[in-house]
Amino acid sequence: MSARAAIELHNVEMVFGGLRAVGGVSFAVPEGSIFGLIGPNGAGKTTVFNCITGVYTPTGGTIELFGNRVDGMPAFEVAGLGIAHTFQNIRLFSELTVLENVLVAGHLRSKARLWDSFLRTTRGAADEREQREKARHLLSLFALDDVQDERSASLSYGDQRRLEIARALMLSPKVLLLDEPAAGMNSTESHVLKEQIRRLRDEFKLTVVLVEHNMQVVMNVCEHIHVMDRGETIADGPPETVQNHPKVLEAYLGKGEDNDTDSARQGVSDVRELSDKSPAENQAKSEEPLLVVEGLEVAYGGIKAVKGVSLTVNKGELVALIGANGAGKTSTLKAIARLLPWRAGRVIFDGRDLSTVAPHALVSMGMALSPEGRAIFPNLTVRENLDMGAYTVRDSQAIRRRIEQSVALFPRLGERMKQLGGTLSGGEQQMLAIARALMSGPKLLMLDEPSLGIAPVLVDQIFEGIERIRQDGTTVLLVEQNTRRALGAAQRAYVLVTGEVALSGDAKALRHDERVKGAYLGESVH
């Protein structure tokens, strides 16, 4: 591998209004290498890609391609200099054939001119033959030559992903940027992709830069990895160094060591004294299932996000559903709540099959979802938001009692009853979202990322509230990006990897299981 840098970033910044999406990132990609750029959701990875390719002009810093500055150049000029880019969301021409999708990208390297096409000159005919031969060769590398005359929309999701890479290679790039190429692929397709990336690097003498949430792919194919979190660099080095870097573990698994989690558990235990129930009653939970999910499958178009997930939540317990970005956690919750259609499987809630139940009917049955991003009504007051959560409740005394319980659970809400929801802090909005979900008096409360984007002191208060909710008798299914806090709060947990349950069991045991780290950072979990 050459010591020369193919791409160099020097203190690159990207600010959107008041949001600093990328803050002073610097790294060098060695020529001929396979380089990984990873980090949790919102880390700024795709923004960096867009700065490199000219989609965005950085608000600070410089970007060099083989020693020449490219920051500020329009995207078509950057492409002409030898950078090709595939996108996180597939961007094929659905009405064109597979071959035509690849040929579209040949214009930058074409030797023919416009009049050659009009006059059908010898040069134009020769160029067309050359372009078609090259396109067919690229399709053969991805085993797509047999479907070259079919519309691209008819391909499977994995084949569409490979077609995008073939089209990018039609530009004859020196550097290939791949944004989430394994998204939605099954384990077999991901393994094939790893081998194809290596083969393409060697055959076409490419430098490959990879943004990918599938850590099994990243850790097995990348020779060097740069890790970002919240727009900044937190680690850089070979895979084995990155996997064990404290800041990387914190970014993916949450803050704190195991003894910190023990302290957190002890802290929330003090809250149990506030419950009206006796300690014996508080600790009691039944082995009777409240929620049973069997073989659940969910797809977004061609992307299979949930692949046969099965799980059980017993009455009175808190179960955590954890996993890396893109593992299918939120999709699983939405499918249980009937907000996404099922491709296969079934869900049994409180003894009833939900396959024919409308989403709005679940609230009356005793299921509530506090969604990721909180989704409160910003132009309504705190009290009005709580009233909206009780729209199925006809007993005014029950509504008043539940508001009092919400204030006891989160005292800040009592101080802000007349304040507009949109003016609350992020942590206060999360408290309101949870309290609003409780207003319907649910048997099962599903929480999606309650600590996301919240200051640590408020995270503590929210987890104290969640523990008290469970102790007061509400069953909880928790999706949480802070793995250590989730496992500290839960009795049992399921670990998802690319849409499948890879591990499950006692939460305390999983906190000390190295395979959980592997689920996030690419080590074997099977």
Question: Where does 410-455 have alpha helices with state H?
Answer: 411-415, 426-438
Look at residue 259 and tell me whether its pLDDT is greater than 80: no
Look at residue 265 and tell me whether its pLDDT is greater than 70: no
| Alpha carbon distances (Å) from 229 to 45, 309, 354 | 9, 29, 39
Look at residue 73 and tell me whether its pLDDT is greater than 60: yes
The b/e string for 288-313 (b: 16+ C-beta within 10 A; e otherwise) is: eebbbbeebbbbeeebbbbbebebbb
Number of C-beta neighbours around residue 131 at 10 A: 20
Look at residue 291 and tell me whether its pLDDT is greater than 60: yes
Residue 10 confidence (pLDDT): 97
Write out the E strands in 190-243.
207-211, 224-229, 232-237
Residue 273 confidence (pLDDT): 32
Q: What is the pLDDT of residues 77-109, one digit of tens each?
A: 999 899 999 987 778 888 899 999 999 887 776
Residue 279 confidence (pLDDT): 34
Span 37-56, average pLDDT: 89
List CB contacts of 362: < 8 A, sequence separation 6 or more: 337, 338, 349, 354
Residue 285 confidence (pLDDT): 53
Helix (H, G, I), strand (E, B) or coil at 454: coil
Span 38-44, average pLDDT: 82
Span 322-348, average pLDDT: 91
Confidence band, pLDDT 50/70/90 cuts, at residue 282: very low
Helix (H, G, I), strand (E, B) or coil at 250: helix
pTM for the full predicted model: 0.64
Residue 522 confidence (pLDDT): 67
Torsion of CA 25, 28, 34, 36, to 10 degrees: -10
Residue 26 confidence (pLDDT): 97
Residue 403 confidence (pLDDT): 92
CA distance 411 to 374: 18
Look at residue 380 and tell me whether its pLDDT is greater than 70: yes
Residue 509 confidence (pLDDT): 92
Look at residue 288 and tell me whether its pLDDT is greater than 50: yes
Confidence band, pLDDT 50/70/90 cuts, at residue 455: low
Look at residue 318 and tell me whether its pLDDT is greater than 70: yes
What DSSP string runs through 96-129?
SBHHHHHHGGGGGG----HHHHHHT-HHHHHHHH
Q: What is the pLDDT of residues 128-173, one digit of tens each?
A: 888 889 999 999 988 899 999 999 988 877 788 889 999 999 999 9
CA distance 163 to 167: 6
The b/e string for 207-227 (b: 16+ C-beta within 10 A; e otherwise) is: bbbbbbbbbbbbbbbbebbbb
Pairing of strands 175-179, 492-497: unpaired
Span 299-319, average pLDDT: 89
Torsion of CA 74, 78, 81, 83, to 10 degrees: -160
Look at residue 55 and tell me whether its pLDDT is greater than 80: yes
Look at residue 280 and tell me whether its pLDDT is greater than 50: no
* C-alpha neighbours within 13 Å on the C-beta side of residue 500: 11
Span 382-410, average pLDDT: 91
| Alpha carbon distances (Å) from 84 to 76, 80, 158, 324, 345 | 10, 9, 19, 27, 40
List CB contacts of 488: < 8 A, sequence separation 6 or more: 261, 262, 264, 265, 507, 511
Look at residue 49 and tell me whether its pLDDT is greater than 90: yes
Q: What is the pLDDT of residues 459-489, one digit of tens each?
A: 888 899 999 999 999 999 999 878 888 999 9
Element (DSSP H or E) covering residue 467: helix 456-471
Residue 507 confidence (pLDDT): 93
Per DSSP, what are the bridge partners of residue 353? 348
Look at residue 447 and tell me whether its pLDDT is greater than 70: yes
Confidence band, pLDDT 50/70/90 cuts, at residue 274: very low
What the block records as the tokens of 267 is: 């802290």
Average pLDDT, the chain: 85
Span 308-320, average pLDDT: 96
Q: What is the pLDDT of residues 224-243, one digit of tens each?
A: 999 998 899 999 999 999 98
Q: What is the pLDDT of residues 337-375, one digit of tens each?
A: 999 999 999 999 999 999 999 999 999 999 999 988 778
Residue 262 confidence (pLDDT): 42
| 26-30, 378-382, 426-430: range with lowest mean pLDDT | 426-430
Residue 388 confidence (pLDDT): 93
CA distance 33 to 25: 19
| Alpha carbon distances (Å) from 96 to 140, 171, 402, 504 | 18, 18, 57, 45
What the block records as the tokens of 259 is: 């003894």
Write out the E strands in 58-183.
60-65, 68-69, 83-86, 175-179
